[in-house]
A and B are shown apart, each in its own frame.
Chain A
């Protein structure tokens, strides 16, 4: 499994701003700190936001990670979020994105910035280059306390060597572009970090402008830092990244599956739906915590050793919350949401605490339910309804589990990879038993 973290720096900085963060993360994955075009001594370029995302696509695709995270600081944060949006939409260049970390990130919306300050910073290039004094003003204004040497000189040096096109392009255009609609809602897990002393891009701005784009996100505030977090608090930043990225990497699909999913045998739309389903489900609000616990125990009994019970219970709650079912229901049961809450409550009552039973006892009870031979006084459902609901419940549990990409990988299913977006779809050339094609190598060698 090729696991990588890509780091995108802030305006006027360079890949060097990550040096002390990366030191702490080398065991998490290969850390790739990039110089954005026009910074860190790279060739100057006049790129809008779409151009920056395209540039990142090239950088990522060239390194072909199967499992990767993007860490974006300030200006780099806007690029990171829009890369995540393209991953969501099935862009093969960004396939395998497992986590996003934003540090004092510029949002998809126009970045809040006083026009006076914007004009001042643009004006620094009036004489052709940013002076040492101007660079020092910039760095000092963005740190809670002045950086120690030699870091301060390194930071100011990077500001001074910023390319004119890149610097002005961001301030005049990139930071003002409105990408909220394209960013939409993202399911990739996100960590959103703000410096406690930051101004325009502090915690409030992060909550208001970045958080709404992420369905599965948390916000952390780092004390003793303003805007230049990787310089100011590298250890704290690294610890947060580690804590966020490791579990996300742990959920990665197996490498051969991830590679097939990223290949030209898979359409963008197919890739998008599979990755979306691999992410955590949106929050549901039909089931109570108690009902969720009973459902998790039911999942464990219906699919022992198969599904992650808590995850699947969450998916079913999300399905119930969305109101989108499978097109029909038993005429003897109420609408889905009520049927599931009543069914779970009745099951719990029949068991006298279903979640606390041994798996053998649960299984025995389910057999009785399936024979319509168990009922309880005062329960929501009678024995006949419980039999019908249990048929519906186990079918839905099996349906949700089987549809998960992790399950496809587990059983060696590659039927999603039968045609990309090209004019000729690939399909299968071999259909007979005991013959497979070279690309069908999903199963991990045992």
Chain B
């Protein structure tokens, strides 16, 4: 085993939305920081607008069980310097204050141990760094302002606007973490304005989309942080008192060691708990791997008479938050609706699997690709004891046991799914769609190392610090106590800055 003899202040495992902002903030504060990323480094130009050839996903096998088994791979898991921000949709609604107090409001789910105002201050700081395009006025938050004008709407967005208007549902341009004008990103260079190519999920080739490798990581490096790509962390070393002293990682087949004074696991809602369970660490609560959550992400599709060509343009260019707390519903929480632009291969897979289609019906729909349009939701998912990540008996190439994730909708998710199907079907009928049908889908990997105030019920405290090991921190979507309807990346980046500040404020 080889390794750096020097002990650094901080090692961060993972370079995505959880790890990169705190890397920048800690480096700026003068700490020595090493970021270890399992995947390789890309230039924007390296990305390829092809669904099978895009190589920015975590494609190592995970086992998925339960009655609503969720898809991994390209659906929700990133790999590469930038983590999941390489493929994220950049759709970035802010977390709703009611969602952070869901238990107080509804008696279901969990409250967050962080006040909404405090979180939003960090969200605001994140938005100022990454650059967000959005509407001049945001109907559900009159005070909100976005730095950049909205990107062009595409055909499904226009259809959704039409349908919503007919039904009296407010809808507007979606907040999108991409630049609608050329914009200089400090320490990186000029991010070119979005060109409406529609390939956000295959990797942004112009730098328009906010990814950590074109924003937070260059900032971190400018302040002395080191980002090491292709480093797979396989072990965590501890001293006699159980404190972390370093990590062991494999780079190109060679085992190496990096000593550190504090360790931040930011590897996402699957790899973070998987590593802890494999090493049997930080789990005196028995909560590691529990409460896995995936957003209800039902879609409704239909045929239009018009030539839609939905692959053009920013995919999620329209939003409504009107359903965040709909009247007269039988579910806790709510959901966001967005217009969809889905690439052919993803669509084909979702139609075959999620809509249960095959035969002439499937061929006819796929042949009609250019005339299809869809809308979809991102809906609350309640934490549940039945939904958890455990270790399978099979091991990966590094000898670590693979993750098995069991996920089944509960009554609340079914109720949201049902409500959303009815709402979206009505919108699509009003928009002029024909042959309307729904696709089952869930998205994002949330929970599994939740934060809380009680060490018996949570893995980390509100600062992201392990209740068991005082120099071990977690910062990614695994710490979410509840799912929130908002897509997670913006909140993860905000938590990342907060975790850095709390670390700086509380370290000895």
Contact = CB atoms under 8 A, between A and B. Distances in A.
A429 interface: yes
Contacts of A407: 344, 366
A256 interface: no
Contacts of B59: 324-327
A430 B194 CA distance: 13
Contacts of A304: 359-360, 363
A181 interface: no
B158 A269 contact: no
Interface string A208-245: 00000000000000000000000000000000000000
Contact of B158 (A274, A325, A391, A433): A433
Nearest to B72: A328
B359 A433 contact: no
Given A302-B358, A305-B363, A327-B58, A418 B73 contact: no
Interface stretch (B89-97, B125-133, B300-308, B446-454): B300-308
Interface stretch (B16-24, B167-175, B196-204, B239-247): B196-204
A337 to B, nearest CB: 12
A363 B366 contact: no
Nearest to A268: B48
Interface residues of B, number: 71
A270 B196 CA distance: 18
B49 A331 contact: no
A444 to B, nearest CB: 14
A328 B363 contact: no
Given A302-B359, A418-B199, A419-B197, A327 B57 contact: yes
A275 to B, nearest CB: 11
Contacts of B369: 411-413
Contacts of A401: 348
B61 A413 contact: no
Interface in B19-55: 45-46, 48-53
B108 to A, nearest CB: 27
B195 A426 contact: yes
Contacts of B347: 402
- Candidate in A329, A366, A426, A429 with the most chain B CB atoms within 10 angstroms: A329
Nearest to B367: A411
A446 interface: no
A306 B363 contact: yes
- Candidate in A306, A363, A415, A425 with the most chain B CB atoms within 10 angstroms: A415
A165 B294 CA distance: 69
A411 B366 contact: yes
Interface string B127-165: 000000000000000000000000011110011000000
B180 interface: no
B199 A415 contact: yes
Given A326-B73, A394-B352, A399-B348, A431 B155 contact: yes
A402 B342 CA distance: 13
Contacts of A434: 306-307
A333 to B, nearest CB: 9
Contacts of A392: 353
A411 B371 CA distance: 10
Given A327-B77, A331-B406, A431 B199 contact: no
A416 B154 contact: no
Q: Which 6 A-B pairs have the closest CB atoms?
A: A327-B73, A427-B195, A331-B65, A431-B313, A418-B197, A402-B348
Given A327-B73, A402-B344, A403-B344, 17 more contacts: A303-B358, A324-B59, A325-B61, A327-B59, A327-B60, A394-B353, A398-B351, A402-B345, A402-B349, A415-B198, A418-B49, A418-B197, A419-B197, A428-B197, A431-B152, A433-B159, A433-B308
28 contacts: A267-B49, A274-B50, A303-B362, A327-B58, A327-B75, A327-B77, A329-B63, A331-B404, A331-B406, A391-B352, A391-B356, A395-B352, A395-B353, A397-B352, A398-B348, A403-B52, A410-B367, A413-B369, A415-B199, A416-B50, A421-B45, A424-B192, A425-B192, A430-B312, A431-B153, A432-B154, A433-B155, A436-B307
